[in-house]
Amino acid sequence: MDMNLTKFPGNPYPLGATWDGKGVNFALFANNATSVELCLFDDDNQETKIQLKECTHHIWHVYLPGITHGQFYGYRVDGPFDPANGFRYNPNKVLIDPYAKSIAGPVKWHDSLFGYDLNDPDKDLSFNNLDSAPYIPKSVVIDPNFDWEDDKPLDIPYHKSIIYETHVKGFTILQPDIPEEIRGTYAAMAHPVTIQYLKDLGITAVELMPVHHFIIDAHLIEKGLSNYWGYNTIGFFAPDVRYSSSGVHGQQVIEFKNMVKELHKAGLEVIIDVVYNHTAEGNELGPTLSFKGIDNCAYYRLVEDNKRYYNDYTGTGNTLNANLPNVLRLIMDSLRYWILDMHVDGFRFDLASTLARELHDVDKLSSFFDIIYQDPVISQVKLIAEPWDIGEGGYQVGNFPSEWAEWNGKYRDCMRDYWRGADSMLGEFAERLSGSPDLYQNDGRKPTASINFITAHDGFTLHDLVAYDEKHNEANGENNNDGESHNRSWNCGVEGPTDDPEIINLRNQQKRNFLATMFLSQGVPMLVAGDEFGRTQGGNNNAYCQDNEISWLNWENADKSLQEFTQKLISLRKNHPIFCRRGWFQGRAIRSKVTDIAWFLPEGMELSEENWSHDFAKSLGVYLNGSEIHSVDTEGKKIVDDSFYIIFNAYHGPLDYILPPVKFGKTWNKVLDTSEVCVSEDGIEFNAEQTINVAGRSVVILKHKKD
C-alpha cells in the first residue's frame, strides 16, 4: 500500500468511516488519548499507519482522497496505561471502530488480543507488547448506496401486530426448501419460502435475535461451543458477517438491506434485538478489542473508588455507561442508522433496565429515556423493553415510560402457573388476560404496552414447558448449574420423551391451551419460532451456546396439526377486533359491572369479589361484548364485532358450564375447543343458559354473531 497517501484534515462528523465517492473521512472519539493512528489493511493484512493530527472536541479525524468502499481499517490508540485509574491504552492493539458499518470476520483468539500478559501474576496490571493486528477483525468502509425501490415504513399498529421471535441462522439452516448455499443467512430470511411461511402463519413482524456483530467467547470455543444467541456485541452498526452469504467487504450490509426490503414487500416488519447494555470486552480480565482501548473511562461504568474494576449490572462483566454524552450519542446514532439506513421497524432492548440506571438506581426519567422521547426518528418506531437486569431493583415490569412496550414477565409467570394448576388467584389471571391494566393503565399506556409471551428464546420451548419439570442443560458444560431452575413448568406425569398416548395427548392439549390463551389476551402476542409446530430443545432452557440441532428448527419433525391450529388461532384473532382492542375495557377495575366485559362462574353467575381471591378456583368464563368496543377505525367509524364467551378450565376434570342469560346472547356457536383441536367460525350451536360440558384442562370459545 502506498505509504505516501494524500491526507486532508477532514471533519469530526459524522463519526466512523464515510465514503463520499471521492475518498473517505475517518473520525474517532477518544477523549483521553494522546495519539491516534489510523491503520489501513490490504487483503494480505499488510498495514499502513497514518498518524492523525486533527482533533476537534476529542474527535480525531482525517480525510483520505482516493480510498474507496471495501477498504479494511482499524485504529491504534495511545495514552496512559493506568488500570487502577481506568486507563488501559495500548498501541500494540488494533481496535475496531465503534462506528464501523461492516466488520470483516470473527475474532481469532490469541494472547495478543488482551491488553495485559495472561501469564503475569499481576494480571491486568501488567502490559502486553504483542501485536493484535493478525487476529482482530478489521472494520470495513461501506458503500451506503442501495436501491430501496420506494420502500417505506409499514407502521403496523401494535394492536394489529403478531410478533415472531426468531434467529436468522436457526430458523433457516435446516429448511430443506431453501437453497443450501444460503441457509442460515439474511438471504435465507428473504427467500420466498421463508416469507410465504410467515405470511401463511399470520405473522406481521419478525423479531430477530441479535444481528449486531458479536464475539464468540474464547472459553466457549475451547469447549467446542458457541455464542449462538449473539448477546455479546462489539459492533453496534455492523450486521454480523456470519449471517452473510455474499461476502465480507460490506456485502453483508447489502444482503441485510435486501432482506428488510423483501420482508417489507410482503407486509412484514423487522424488529431487531439490540444489546446496548454491555459489550464483548468483558471485565478487567477481558480482551481489548475496541472501546476498552479507545477510551475505557469514557465508555464503561467503573467502580467509583477503584476504577480498575467494572460495575456489572448485566452478568457479562461490564456495563456501558449510558449517562455519558458520547455513549448516549453512540446509542442514538446506532438506532437512527438502523432506522434510516437499514429501514428496520423497531427494537427490542436487552436488559433495558441497565440503560435506565442514572447511578445505581433505575430511573424512568433518565437521560436515555429523555433523549429517545425527544428524538423525531427513534420515538416513532416500535420500542420494546426487556424490563429487567440482574442488579438491585432491576425488575421494572410496568415501570417504563409511556412510549415503550414491555416484555410482560408477569404475564408469562401467571399463565404458566394457571395452566400447570398452581395455587394462583383468578384475579391476576383476569388482569393479565385483559392487558394487565394494573401495570399499564394508570400511566396513560394502552393494553398494547404489554408484549404477551409464554416462552422466549431464554428458557424452555413451548413443547419443553409441558414435557419437563427440570432443566437439562448438561450439554452446556456447566454441570447443569446454568439456566433458570424455577420454570413454572409441568411435564404432565413423565420427565421428557414418552410413548404414553394419554400423556402425549395431554401435552398437546396444554400446548393448545397456552397458545389459545396468549392469542385471546389483550396486548401484543409474541410467538417464539418453532413453538407453533412443537420444537424441542431436549429440556435445555439455556441454549445460548448451542449452535447445533439443539437450537435449530427441525422442519422435518414439525407437528403439522399444531401448526395448523396456531395458524387458525392467529386468523381468528386478526379477524376479530374484540381480541385486539386499542383501549381498555371500561371502568378502572376489570371486575366492575360494565357493559363490555363480564366474568362468570360455571353455574352461570357472575363472579363476586370473594371469588377472585380463591387460590383453589381453576375455572372461569369471560364475556366479551363486540358491540361495546368503544373504539373507531382509521376512518372514524365505530368498530363493532361479534360477541364471544370464553371458558378457561384449568381444573383436571370436566366441568358443566351454564351459558349466560339471554341478554348476553340468544344463541352461541362453538368456534374453538382445545380438547378437540377445533377452530371453526361456525361450530356446534348452543342456546342461552344451556349447559355445555367443558373438558378438563381446556379452552372453549363460543361466538354470538352481531345483529
Q: Known catalytic residue: 386?
A: yes
- Decide: 403 and 384 in contact? Cβ < 8 Å: no
Instruction: Measure the CA–CA gap between 357 and 352, rounded to whole angstroms.
Output: 9
Rounded-to-5 percentages of helix, strand, coil across the chain: 25, 20, 55
- What the block records as the C-alpha cell of 634 is 382509521
Q: How many CB atoms lie within 10 A of CB 125?
A: 15
C-alpha torsion sign, points 68, 69, 72, 74: positive
Instruction: Measure the CA–CA gap between 503 and 655, rounded to whole angstroms.
Output: 20
CA distances from 435 to 446, 585, 617, 621 (A): 8, 9, 21, 17
Instruction: Measure the CA–CA gap between 483 and 472, rounded to whole angstroms.
Output: 9
- Decide: 668 and 687 in contact? Cβ < 8 Å: yes
Instruction: Measure the CA–CA gap between 111 and 120, rounded to whole angstroms.
Output: 12
Residue 461's contacts (CB-CB under 8 Å, 6 or more residues apart) are 455, 528, 530, 531, 535, 536, 537
Instruction: Measure the CA–CA gap between 622 and 606, rounded to whole angstroms.
Output: 9
**Element containing residue 668 per DSSP (H, E):** strand 667-673
Task: Give the end-to-end CA distance of the chain in Å, rounded to a whole number.
Answer: 79
- What the block records as the C-alpha cell of 5 is 497517501
- What the block records as the C-alpha cell of 481 is 448449574
Q: Known catalytic residue: 549?
A: no
- At residue 476, the 3 state secondary structure works out as helix
- At residue 166, the 3 state secondary structure works out as strand
Give me the catalytic one of 37, 240, 350, 531: 350
CA distances from 500 to 104, 111, 461, 497, 504 (A): 51, 53, 21, 9, 6
Instruction: Measure the CA–CA gap between 693 and 607, rounded to whole angstroms.
Output: 19
- Tell me the Ramachandran region of residue 566: left when phi exceeds 0, alpha when psi lies from -120 to 50, beta otherwise: alpha
Give me the catalytic one of 281, 284, 295, 386: 386
Nearest to 279 by CA among 343, 328, 244, 235: 235
Nearest to 641 by CA among 627, 655, 651, 653: 627
Instruction: Measure the CA–CA gap between 602 and 600, rounded to whole angstroms.
Output: 7
DSSP assignment of 438-453, as one string?
Answer: HHHGGGT--GGGEEE-
Residue 318's contacts (CB-CB under 8 Å, 6 or more residues apart) are 278, 279, 281, 282, 283, 286, 300, 301, 310, 312
C-alpha torsion sign, points 701, 157, 151, 182: negative
Nearest to 509 by CA among 648, 695, 672, 698: 698
Q: DSSP strand E in 363-522: where?
A: 382-385, 405-407, 450-452
Instruction: Measure the CA–CA gap between 608 and 592, rounded to whole angstroms.
Output: 10
- What the block records as the C-alpha cell of 651 is 381444573
Instruction: Measure the CA–CA gap between 282 and 292, rounded to whole angstroms.
Output: 9
* Residues identified as active-site: 350, 386
